[in-house]
Chain A
Amino acid sequence: MTPAPPGESSFSTRRIGDAGTLAERQAALVAALVAGAPDPPGFDPTRLAAARRALLRKRAGEAAKHWPVLAASLGPRWSAAFAAQHAGREPGGALRDGWDVARALRAELSADAAHELRDREAGWRYDGVRPPRPRHLRAALRTLAARR
């Protein structure tokens, strides 16, 4: 622990090397953790890698709540399938993240998982780029009700 010198007051413009303001440094860290950007200088790369995997597992768990049939059909392979699709891609929300996995695996889905995907496709417009939008109010309410 190294206390800063007494009297220093311009904290929010304090810079570590050329790493920028706190807002910039936080943005660089998030980009490295979820969007494939390089690790910011000074961090332990092994720990950032562990955090990156933990974030993917967390996202996979949340996406599984929106895609219970798909996740159950993959069982223990769900986390790996999710990571394969989303490593280095920033979170799009649990519904959309799971949707991307379902579409990527479309050719090999179980009958039940394929039904779940068809059900979502019928209820929502999702172009793979922007967040899904409900085609009908009922579908939106059903999905909201499934959320915790």
Chain B
Amino acid sequence: MASERGPGVTGGGSTAAWGAPPARADRAASTGGIDGRPAPGGGPVASVRGTDAPGRPFVVDGVGAGWRPEIAGWVADVPDLGFCEVIAESVAPAGPPRGVVDLRARGVPVIPHGIRLSLGGAEPLDPARVTQLAACADALDAPLVSEHIAFVRAAGREAGHLLPVPRTREALDVLAANVARLSAELTVPVALEVIAALFDWPDDELAEPEFLAAVGDRTGALLLLDVANVYANAVNRAQDPRAVLDRILDLVPADRIGYVHVAGGSARHDEAGLYHDTHTDPVPDAVLALLAHLVERAPGVPVLLERDGGYPPAAVLTAELAAIAAAARP
């Protein structure tokens, strides 16, 4: 089925990534549109980006934090919390966690964030997981759901974490089919997150920015742009994080960014400086600087802090969120 689908069958934009790289390069050169200014020369680029004016409403707004049971009290006390995220697999749709219900009652949007759907897996999606995520979105009246450009299991074996897919046409076919399957049960948009990968596939046909653009074109999904993951991948590929981010923003229109993740990580001295996206360390200054640059190019983009362990005192989390807010709302 998927094997019969050539490039560009779903969504004409995908052909640009595959068949006509120069068209992408032209778009890349027109950085003006991302700020809401018309791209030089008008044409299709301008029409794509003409809605990127500052102040344009995103699906969510402001600065958010990932809700976790361990820091529920802190999240509840964040002043002006724009939105939050909850791990979808941890939510029973019939009875979401009390803290999450309370936030919804206060009008804080809650995004179910799936981590085990395996949208990049070549095997069929687990129907129960699809249904659970959809039910979770309904129960929380969520504005969108998010998952990852990744796979987490194969041949009945769990990896235990998000693994990268090869950046190939074949993987795009898989993602397109799986996102279509998911979207058929959802009443809200999907945002797909770029993951932090410690290795690449030998099969890779595309660089990550081109692949992310193609994923958007093929799936119709929004991009969940994790700026810490962009940083991690660039560092671990010996690339300049800012140049990689710029390339992504050249190729993915700002109005296709659902929201942004920020998280901490650290380099392990026993691994020659390999940077790990741990979610248990502070957010490095270099990631905050990258966030500030992102916000310059995509003003008003919603930003969410993820922390998944090694929880510091509330005051430390508050300071970290304030630093993110300062970078994101200059």
Q: Which residues of A contact B (CB under 8 A)?
A: 1-4, 6-14, 16, 21-23, 25-27, 29-31, 33-35, 41-44, 47-48, 50-51, 54-55, 58-59, 61-62, 90-91, 147-148
Within 8 A of A (CB), among B264-323: 268, 271, 274, 276, 280, 309
Which of these binds chain A: B181-189, B194-202, B222-230?
Answer: B194-202
Interface of B is mostly: mixed
- Residues on B with beta carbons closer than 8 Å to the beta carbon of A4: 18, 168-169, 205
Shortest distance in angstroms between B18's beta carbon and chain A's nearest beta carbon? 6
CB atoms of B168 and A11 under 8 A apart: yes
Note all chain B residues with C-beta closer than 8 A to A148: 68-70, 87, 90
Task: State whether the Cβ of B170 lies closer than 8 Å to any Cβ in chain A.
Answer: yes
Residues of B within 8 A of A12 (CB): 2-3, 122, 170, 173-174
Which partner residue on chain B sits nearest A97 by CB separation?
B160
Does B160 contact A26, Cβ atoms closer than 8 Å? Answer: no
Q: Contact: B122 with A50, CB < 8 Å?
A: no
Contact A22 B21 (CB under 8 A): no
Given A3-B21, A27-B154, A33-B163, does the pair A11, B2 have CB atoms closer than 8 Å?
A: yes
Query: In the assembled complex, which residues on chain A have CB atoms less than 8 Å from the CB atom of B198?
Result: 47, 50-51, 54
Distance between Cα atoms of A42 and B204 in the complex (Å) = 11
Complex: A60 Cα to B206 Cα, angstroms: 34
Please name 8 pairs of A and B residues whose Cβ atoms are closer than 8 Å in the assembled complex, sorted by A. Answer: A1-B210, A11-B170, A12-B122, A13-B3, A22-B170, A27-B157, A34-B158, A90-B157
Query: In the assembled complex, which residues on chain A have CB atoms less than 8 Å from the CB atom of B271?
Result: 50
The winner among B19, B151, B157, B159 for most chain A CB atoms within 10 A is B159
The answer to whether residues A10 and B3 also contact, given A26-B121, A55-B160 and a CB cut-off of 8 A, is: yes
Give every chain B residue within 8 A of A41 (Cβ-Cβ): 202
B contact set with A: CB distance below 8 Å: 2-6, 18-19, 21, 68-70, 87, 90, 121-123, 151, 153-155, 157-161, 163, 165-166, 168-171, 173-174, 198-207, 210, 268, 271, 274, 276, 280, 309
B18: chain A residues at CB < 8 Å are 3-4
Provide the bound-state CA to CA distance between A27 and B203, in Å.
15
Number of A-B contacts (CB under 8 A): 128
Is A34 in contact with B159, judged by CB distance below 8 angstroms? yes
Select from chain A the residue with minimum beta-carbon distance to B92: A144
Residue ID in chain A nearest B170 by CB atoms: A11
Report the nearest B residue to A28, measured CB to CB: B154
Contact of A61 with B309 at beta-carbon distance under 8 Å, contacts A3-B18, A41-B202, A148-B69 already known: yes
Q: How far is the CA of A43 from the CA of B201 in the complex (A)?
A: 6
Chain A residues lying within 8 Å of B168, measured Cβ to Cβ, are: 4, 11, 14, 22
Between B199, B200, B203, the greatest number of chain A beta carbons within 10 A of the residue's beta carbon is seen for B199
Q: What 7 pairs across the A-B complex have the smallest Cβ distances?
A: A42-B202, A47-B199, A27-B155, A23-B122, A12-B3, A11-B170, A27-B154
Q: Which residue of B lies closest to A90 (CB)?
A: B157
Contact A1 B274 (CB under 8 A): no
Report which of B6, B70, B123 forms a contact with A23, defined as CB distance below 8 A.
B123
A147: nearest residue on chain B (CB-CB)? Answer: B90
Cβ B309 vs Cβ A30 within 8 A: no
Given A22-B166, A29-B154, A48:B3 Cβ within 8 A: no
Complex Cα distance, B236 from A50, in Å, reads: 12
Complex interface: chain B residues within 8 A of A6 (CB):
19
